[in-house]
A and B are shown apart, each in its own frame.
Chain A
Amino acid sequence: MLTKIQSVAHVGLISVPVAIEVDVASRGFPGFTIVGLASRAVDEARERVKTAIVNSGFDFPPQKITVNLAPADLPKDGAAYDLPIALGILVAGGQITIDEKKLASCLFYGELSLDGGLRRTKGVLLVALFAKREKYKEIFVPVESANEAAVVSEIVVRPLRQLAQLIGHLTKAKIIKPLRSLPVAEVIETAAAEFDLAEIAGQEQAKRALLIAAAGGHNLFMWGPPGTGKTMLARAMSGILPSLSEEEALEVTRIYSVAGLLKSGEALIRRRPFRSPHHGVSAAGIIGGGSNPVPGEVSLAHLGVLFLDEMPEFPRNVIESLRQPMEDGVVEIVRATAHVSYPASFTLLAAVNPCPCGYLGHPTRPCVCSQKQVDNYRQKISGPILDRIDLFVRVGVVEVEKLLENQSRTGMTTAEARKPVLAARQRQLKRFGKAGIFTNAQMGNKLVKRFCPLDEETTRLLRTAVEKFNLSARSYYRLIKVARTIADLAGEEPITSAHVAEALQYKQFG
């Protein structure tokens, strides 16, 4: 007898329906074959399914079993087909009888363990979103990953612990209660900031730069000796950013679901991501890769912060590979068998020591690097990358006594900082309504001219600055963009010379 079970495959973030056709032939030599471009993990499903069926108290039919994963030309990977294959064998072998129509409106997805239990499986959120879009009624997924699906409304999610439980449900012996759905907005609101700005002592200028970066979506470059709080500042960044919108939260969670990085029982990524890859990362690790490409760090930082600590220590090709995502907000990964694109719209925070030893320009400690070492170190970050960074700030050494005596003045909390950022973001959304961008940082030169008119005094100030600091045309535009954000933070529409003057504090330095 032949039966058909519905499941889903993922190519990048795109879900494709997969029909699992199982035939248990009444004639022929006993055997178990899986066809349909199955990867090794899928092929090994034979052993898992066979044992799981037996350990769940059913018979594994000693007949010729053929499983076809259609469409046949789409490569399939992962262990998520264990569940539909096992179910198919039981149905096709006649051990249980289920209404065919009902079967067609359900999706089955999950990895089996040998004892017949279901294991955590990645990509469940995508299955639920796919089910909603394609109007399936129910999905059956492993209990540990089921929370991911709970945030999708309008579908029935049945969490499974055991294969036998599923059979009990389908034969109406014991119904599995559907998972209570979880409104996205509720989940997001309960997220607390991971790290508070007020915990960082001193560094007022760096904090101000963080605020500007968060308000205008600008990339930020922090420069200073080790141990001055660059990493702490970066970690505080995701707290000042506006919290994720429902749509954004789902978008981020999709990426984490595909990458299998959601924790057991976690429903949704609630905070803006903060990714801080070690400098040993490979180019594939940063932009994504593999024969069935998985998202890299730039995509895991989507809508959040990508923090590169000691940026010049990263291999040059890794740094250069950031160019495309920084420009386009997506990464295209092309492999022989797959072409996928993952969203990768992030704010880059780069922390850089002044030299390899870290003490160049330190008030009292001499630097032990040779000039050549310093030059090489600086050249690691190429012009095109620096051109995409709008804000540059020094994070200097803070003397402890100075901090103690003035403690009261350094206390801007994350919550306080977030308010003007939100307001500034609102202004930008309103301004760019039709321009197809969201933040000041995304403005091209044309849009800068359109949205940032300058009065005479401001133009004069800029001209003086260009001459004095020998600014390039590119840094000229970056300066205006930052001034635009500073004006937005102040809630002012026209850009004045004061805004430009403050923006000049964060210009690129040699």
Chain B
Amino acid sequence: MEYREVRDWKKLTELGRLSGLKKPPERLFFSGDWNPGIFENCAAVVGSRRMTEYGRWSVERLVGELVNQGKTIVSGFMYGVDQAAHEAAIEFGGKTIAVLGWGMTWKLEKRERVLAEKIINSGGLLISEWENQEPTLWTFPVRNRIVAALASAVYVVEAAEKSGSMITVNEARKLGREIYAVPGPITSQVSSGTNNLIASGKAKPWLPGKIVARVGVETPVYRLIRERGGLTADEMGRTLGIGVDVLGIELTHLVLSGVVVERDGQYYQG
């Protein structure tokens, strides 16, 4: 992939946020079309590599809202929450910046290369402080400080108590950034970190904005999905006491009309 160095990045006003770091990067490289405006209003969305379905759905709702507010989504390009955030940003028509945990010359796997191209084609950027650097244990936490610094607020979706996301949060706190965490199920290990952030007051809970019911569709099935997102067809059939054959027909129509989305067999409001 083509990349260039940001010449004298410390002189660029759009990167002023990075100079607040205790140890700012020495050099900076990027892929994509440099557009200073992209750095103006950034929100970082970070979280676990081991994302659950709940996490994926949360990312989609969260990123959707952030993009609607005109924010650029910054994340770490790792699989799991990070990549889901980049993908969601592109899907919602927003811009996104991926801060790599390795050097620009490192060869990406096919799936990641496809995502990287999508980011660039949608007007986003890939940036890194290294030119030739293998991804290793220490590069990821180091990269996290840049993610934290670029954003004015950091949103954590699913993070265990000891995780890279917590490092990002700590960096962000030092820099005085706002921290939000998405509350998760108390039974879920990957939500223990985020729930603790909220409980200890280090982060504000992020809750989805009010969902406005759309006019015209107010069937029992739709109402159930609106009230309790994340149910499977089996569960809805049992709750409503209808067969999955009949239910399936309606679910397909709801999904095709776009008022309901299906993720891995679970139905949510679209």
B245, A208: Cβ atoms closer than 8 Å: yes
Which residue of A is nearest B160, CB measured?
A: A366
Asked if B243 CB lies within 8 Å of chain A CBs, one says: yes
Which residue of B is nearest A212, CB measured?
A: B245
Shortest Cβ distance from residue B106 to the other chain A in the assembled complex, whole angstroms: 15
B48, A366: Cβ atoms closer than 8 Å: yes
**B235 neighbours in A (Cβ, 8 Å):** 402
* A202-B234, A364-B52, A366-B188 as given contacts; A371 in contact with B79, CB under 8 Å: yes
Shortest Cβ distance from residue A357 to the other chain B in the assembled complex, whole angstroms: 10
- Contact with A204, one of B52, B238, B255 (Cβ below 8 angstroms): B238
- Contact with A205, one of B79, B230, B234 (Cβ below 8 angstroms): B234
Please count how many residues in chain B sit with their CB below 8 Å of the partner chain's CB atoms.
36
**Cβ contacts A to B, 19 pairs, < 8 Å:** A204-B238, A205-B233, A363-B52, A363-B54, A364-B185, A364-B188, A365-B188, A365-B189, A366-B50, A366-B188, A371-B80, A375-B111, A396-B265, A409-B238, A461-B256, A464-B256, A465-B252, A468-B255, A501-B250
B79, A394: Cβ atoms closer than 8 Å: no
- Contact with A505, one of B79, B241, B251, B264 (Cβ below 8 angstroms): B251
Asked if A493 CB lies within 8 Å of chain B CBs, one says: no
Shortest Cβ distance from residue B229 to the other chain A in the assembled complex, whole angstroms: 12
**A372 neighbours in B (Cβ, 8 Å):** 109
Asked if B187 CB lies within 8 Å of chain A CBs, one says: yes
Asked if B141 CB lies within 8 Å of chain A CBs, one says: no
How far apart sit A220 and B29, CA to CA, in the bound complex (Å)? 49
How far apart sit A372 and B109, CA to CA, in the bound complex (Å)? 9
**A406 neighbours in B (Cβ, 8 Å):** 238
Interface size class of A (residues with CB under 8 A): 35 or more
How far apart sit A66 and B28, CA to CA, in the bound complex (Å)? 92
How far apart sit A370 and B190, CA to CA, in the bound complex (Å)? 15
**A183 neighbours in B (Cβ, 8 Å):** none
A371, B111: Cβ atoms closer than 8 Å: yes
Which A-B residue pairs are the 10 nearest by beta carbons? A371-B79, A505-B248, A394-B265, A501-B252, A366-B50, A501-B249, A204-B244, A504-B252, A502-B248, A366-B190
**A365 neighbours in B (Cβ, 8 Å):** 52, 188-189
Interface code A200-239, partner B: CB below 8 Å = 1, 0 otherwise?
0011111010000000000000000000000000000000
A366, B189: Cβ atoms closer than 8 Å: yes
Shortest Cβ distance from residue A216 to the other chain B in the assembled complex, whole angstroms: 14
Shortest Cβ distance from residue B7 to the other chain A in the assembled complex, whole angstroms: 34
Shortest Cβ distance from residue B259 to the other chain A in the assembled complex, whole angstroms: 13
Which residue of A is nearest B188, CB measured?
A: A364
Shortest Cβ distance from residue A507 to the other chain B in the assembled complex, whole angstroms: 9
A394, B245: Cβ atoms closer than 8 Å: no
**B50 neighbours in A (Cβ, 8 Å):** 366-368
Asked if B25 CB lies within 8 Å of chain A CBs, one says: no
**B80 neighbours in A (Cβ, 8 Å):** 371
Which residue of B is nearest A394, CB measured?
A: B265
Residues of chain A in range 132-171 having any CB-CB distance to chain B below 8 Å: none
**B134 neighbours in A (Cβ, 8 Å):** none
Which residue of B is nearest A465, CB measured?
A: B256
* A204-B244, A362-B52, A396-B232 as given contacts; A498 in contact with B249, CB under 8 Å: yes
* A364-B185, A409-B241 as given contacts; A502 in contact with B52, CB under 8 Å: no
How far apart sit A202 and B239, CA to CA, in the bound complex (Å)? 12
Asked if B113 CB lies within 8 Å of chain A CBs, one says: no
Asked if A361 CB lies within 8 Å of chain B CBs, one says: yes
Asked if A54 CB lies within 8 Å of chain B CBs, one says: no
**B250 neighbours in A (Cβ, 8 Å):** 501
Shortest Cβ distance from residue B23 to the other chain A in the assembled complex, whole angstroms: 29
- Contact with B52, one of A205, A361, A486 (Cβ below 8 angstroms): A361
**A465 neighbours in B (Cβ, 8 Å):** 252, 256
* A370-B79, A502-B248 as given contacts; A398 in contact with B52, CB under 8 Å: no
How far apart sit A386 and B58, CA to CA, in the bound complex (Å)? 31
How far apart sit A464 and B111, CA to CA, in the bound complex (Å)? 28
How far apart sit A462 and B137, CA to CA, in the bound complex (Å)? 49
How far apart sit A83 and B237, CA to CA, in the bound complex (Å)? 64
Residues of chain A in range 398-450 having any CB-CB distance to chain B below 8 Å: 398, 402, 406, 409-410
Q: Contacts A367-B50, A501-B253 known; list 20 others, CB within 8 Å.
A: A204-B234, A204-B243, A204-B244, A205-B244, A205-B248, A208-B243, A363-B52, A364-B187, A366-B190, A372-B109, A394-B232, A498-B249, A501-B248, A501-B250, A501-B252, A502-B245, A502-B248, A505-B251, A505-B252, A509-B264
Shortest Cβ distance from residue A468 to the other chain B in the assembled complex, whole angstroms: 6
Shortest Cβ distance from residue A413 to the other chain B in the assembled complex, whole angstroms: 15
Asked if B33 CB lies within 8 Å of chain A CBs, one says: no
Shortest Cβ distance from residue A410 to the other chain B in the assembled complex, whole angstroms: 8
How far apart sit A504 and B247, CA to CA, in the bound complex (Å)? 12
B249, A502: Cβ atoms closer than 8 Å: yes
Which residue of A is nearest B263, CB measured?
A: A361
Which residue of B is nearest A202, CB measured?
A: B234
**A486 neighbours in B (Cβ, 8 Å):** 245
How far apart sit A398 and B235, CA to CA, in the bound complex (Å)? 9
A468, B252: Cβ atoms closer than 8 Å: no
Shortest Cβ distance from residue A404 to the other chain B in the assembled complex, whole angstroms: 11
Asked if B218 CB lies within 8 Å of chain A CBs, one says: no
Which residue of A is nearest B54, CB measured?
A: A363
**B256 neighbours in A (Cβ, 8 Å):** 461, 464-465, 468, 504
**B53 neighbours in A (Cβ, 8 Å):** 361-363
**A505 neighbours in B (Cβ, 8 Å):** 233, 244, 248, 251-252
How far apart sit A205 and B231, CA to CA, in the bound complex (Å)? 13
**B188 neighbours in A (Cβ, 8 Å):** 364-366
How far apart sit A509 and B187, CA to CA, in the bound complex (Å)? 28
Find the residue from A203, A205, A365, A398 having the highest chain B CB count within 10 A.
Answer: A205
Residues of chain A in range 185-210 having any CB-CB distance to chain B below 8 Å: 202-206, 208
**A206 neighbours in B (Cβ, 8 Å):** 234
Which residue of B is nearest A374, CB measured?
A: B79
Interface code A352-387, partner B: CB below 8 Å = 1, 0 otherwise?
000000000111111110111001000000000000
**B234 neighbours in A (Cβ, 8 Å):** 202-206, 396, 398
**B264 neighbours in A (Cβ, 8 Å):** 361, 394, 509
How far apart sit A365 and B245, CA to CA, in the bound complex (Å)? 29
Which residue of B is nearest A393, CB measured?
A: B265
Shortest Cβ distance from residue B82 to the other chain A in the assembled complex, whole angstroms: 11
How far apart sit A361 and B262, CA to CA, in the bound complex (Å)? 13
Residues of chain B in range 161-192 having any CB-CB distance to chain A below 8 Å: 185, 187-190
How far apart sit A203 and B238, CA to CA, in the bound complex (Å)? 10
How far apart sit A509 and B241, CA to CA, in the bound complex (Å)? 27
**A364 neighbours in B (Cβ, 8 Å):** 52, 185, 187-188
How far apart sit A203 and B79, CA to CA, in the bound complex (Å)? 31
Shortest Cβ distance from residue B78 to the other chain A in the assembled complex, whole angstroms: 9
Which residue of B is nearest A489, CB measured?
A: B245
Which residue of B is nearest A354, CB measured?
A: B264
Shortest Cβ distance from residue B251 to the other chain A in the assembled complex, whole angstroms: 7
Find the residue from A371, A406, A461 having the highest chain B CB count within 10 A.
Answer: A371
A402, B232: Cβ atoms closer than 8 Å: no
**B49 neighbours in A (Cβ, 8 Å):** 370-371
- Contact with A208, one of B54, B244, B255 (Cβ below 8 angstroms): B244
